[in-house]
Amino acid sequence: MALNMKGRNLATLHDLALEEMQEIFKASADLKRKHKAGEATPVLKGKTLAMIFQKPSTRTRVSFEVGIYQLGGTGLYLGPNDLQLNRGETIEDTARVLSRFVDGIMARVFSHNDILTLCKHASVPVINGLSDLTHPCQVLADLLTITERRGELKGLKMAYIGDGNNMAHSLMLGCAKVGMHISVAAPHGYQPKAEIVEWAREDASATGARVEVTTDPVAAAKNADIIYTDVWASMGQESEHSERVNLFQPYQINAGLTAHAKKDYLFMHCLPAHRGEEVSAEVIDGPHSIVFDQAENRLHAQKGLMALLMQNET
């Protein structure tokens, strides 16, 4: 019997049980198959999703807007000039007001505390479209993509090499939940937050996964099934770009580093990518790269998630 996730929030993957993540993957794969076959799936007919964007986006906006449309609903874009959280109106009041109008809220914000406040005060499901702490929807898409390629997630090893940012946090939490080993390599001062490492190891204790943090990119890449990276300077860190490029140079994903991974390794990147910085062109544009499969699966994974959280009464 399918799990009932109606009305749930998604702030971080730590909030989900393994069975709930598996239910999301199952729903996502089913909706993707039907979409590819040309079948309509209006499971959210008449539903409206408010999409709050404090910062601009390509993949997040398009995938959620197209996704809710394909499910029979409507997406309402609320950009920085349309809705100013914590300025003209408190986040608490925004959550309460929007809950009277819409059936779900997706928010892409700067501060994770804004997500938590929305979750606390909204009476409809809230989905974290990205915060400074985590990016759970991206990792749901990533794990769906790996499942398509490898079949089984448990026991695989992921190497995340680069900035210990919100992507590193969510990958640690996601891998730990599904029993994947993960090794994060980042320089001192740029490693994942200790609280997130603790959460991940707590989840890993139930699945047998290993969660490692190191400064050595070669050690992380050794025998990896998947190598993953992200930009070295995220949105809002432009002033640090030159400093970060110099510091992170030994962490570039290139042929020399990927030689330590398994021969059939997969390369992943959440995009946008800067060729010649965090990854060489020969890797991201080479035969091991599945970055555009990842990008497509943002659509399908988020459709599965929305269908479960915003489902109509049966």
175 vs 155: CA distance, rounded Å: 10
Q: Is the pLDDT of residue 192 over 90?
A: yes
285 classed as catalytic: no
Mark whether 61 is an active-site residue. no
Of the two residues 3 and 254, the one the predictor is more confident about is: 254
pLDDT at 179: 98
Does residue 138 have an active-site annotation? yes
Q: With DSSP H G I counted as helix, E B as strand and the rest as coil, what are the percentages for the chain, rounded to 5?
A: 45, 15, 40
Residue 87: partners with Cβ closer than 8 Å, 6 or more residues away: none
| Residue 298 annotated to the active site | yes
Torsions phi, psi for 229 (to 5 deg):
-145, 175
Determine which one of 8, 59, 108, 169 is catalytic.
108
Task: Say whether 59 is catalytic.
Answer: no
**Domains assigned to the chain:** 13-134+298-303 (3.40.50.1370), 136-294 (3.40.50.1370)
Mean of all residue pLDDT scores within the chain: 95
| Bigger pLDDT: 51 vs 90 | 51
Task: Write down the pLDDT at residue 1.
Answer: 38
Question: What's this model's pTM, rounded to 2 decimal places?
Answer: 0.96
Convert the pLDDT of each residue in 9-23 to its tens digit.
999 999 999 999 999
Catalytic residue selected from 114, 163, 270, 302: 270
Other beta carbons within 10 angstroms of residue 85's beta carbon come to: 21
Predicted confidence (pLDDT) per residue in 105-115, tens digit: 999 999 999 99
18-48 pLDDT per residue, tens: 999 999 999 999 999 999 999 999 999 999 9
Share of the chain above pLDDT 70, in %: 97
In the chain, what percentage of residues exceed pLDDT 90? 90
For 64, 124, 140, 204, 216, the CA distances from 71, given in Å and listed in that order, are 10, 18, 18, 34, 44
Q: Describe the crossing of helices 136-150 and 166-178 by its angle, rounded to 10 degrees.
A: 50
Q: What is the mean pLDDT of residues 272-277?
A: 96
* Predicted local confidence at residue 53, as pLDDT: 95
Whether 280 shows a pLDDT value over 90: the answer reads: yes
In the predicted structure, residue 221 carries a pLDDT above the cut 70 = yes
- Looking at residue 81, its pLDDT comes to 83
Q: Are 110 and 82 in contact (CB under 8 A)?
A: no
pLDDT > 80? residue 314: no
Judge whether 241 counts as a catalytic residue: no
Of residues 112, 244, 298, 300, which has the active-site annotation? 298
- The per-residue pLDDT for 18 is 96
Out of 121, 163, 230, 244, the active site residue is: 230
pLDDT at 84: 64
Q: pLDDT tens-digit profile of 61-97? A: 999 999 999 999 999 999 988 876 666 789 999 999 9
Catalytic-labelled residue, pool 59, 61, 135, 169: 135
